[in-house]
Structure 1
């Protein structure tokens, strides 16, 4: 699929511990802020990280891309947007980080694949429980599904 299934937003203040000595958000910490929004998106599907684990699957990030557009300072309030754009063979989330004063600050994308805890292996098809959550979300939100 290449449509947007879920769109979530999270507002967050940049923490001191996430900044480098110059007071700028350290590049390695962007992924943590992306994850805040991704976590909210997964909860929208009623498939939180705890639910994943209970169902016997983990969803490791296998790809992460970040485009740094403008610097982000410690103590700055930012909005992180997350969109689930692919969900048939892998989970692909797009991210945008904004602030009122500077506009678009960064963009990113993550890709996740299912990992079966029982067999200790990556899966090439989605777990039934995830398919069920997606279908339920689509039906409850009046979306079309083939």
Structure 2
């Protein structure tokens, strides 16, 4: 499968009153890795828009294994694990130095035709062809 990773250092503004990363910020870490993955396949949000489709997130899960802390370098990896009928992307956040697993999750996005607002039950053929050529 196709994967991309980003590395980030946890900043003060990521923290909650308990001095660990606030749970909602993990979604931003996922988004950064997802954008790196979509750039890799040349189908990030501008290309989606130009293709006539939008891809809203319709489901998301996050499993918090260990907290991220101020100054910690984390690596977030996004892996495309399904694309025929929807885009399912799995995420893994690890400590960039030790490799310790910190958080995991996934998102599901579906194709919606921009002009009609109709959801497709299958990914557009051009995207399937593009991804199969990459594998």
Q: Secondary structure of the residue that 1:20 maps to in structure 2?
A: coil
CA drift of 1:36 comes to 0.8
Question: In the alignment, what sits opposite 1:22?
Answer: 18
Correspondence list, 1:123-142, <5 A: 123-138=120-135
Question: In the alignment, what sits opposite 1:63?
Answer: 59
Judge conservation of contact 1:68–1:106 (CA < 8 Å) in 2: yes
Judge conservation of contact 1:62–1:113 (CA < 8 Å) in 2: yes
Q: Secondary structure of the residue that 1:121 maps to in structure 2?
A: coil
Cα deviations by residue, 1:80-133 (Å, 9 ceiling, x for unpaired): 111111111111111111112571101111111001110012111212332232
How many pairs were matched up? 134
Judge conservation of contact 1:46–1:133 (CA < 8 Å) in 2: no
Return the alpha-carbon distance in structure 2 between the equivalents of residues 55 and 44 of structure 1: 17
Cα deviations by residue, 1:18-42 (Å, 9 ceiling, x for unpaired): 2212221111111110111111111
Return the alpha-carbon distance in structure 2 between the equivalents of residues 79 and 89 of structure 1: 28
| TM-score, normalised by the number of residues in structure 1 | 0.84
Judge conservation of contact 1:47–1:133 (CA < 8 Å) in 2: no
Q: Secondary structure of the residue that 1:97 maps to in structure 2?
A: strand
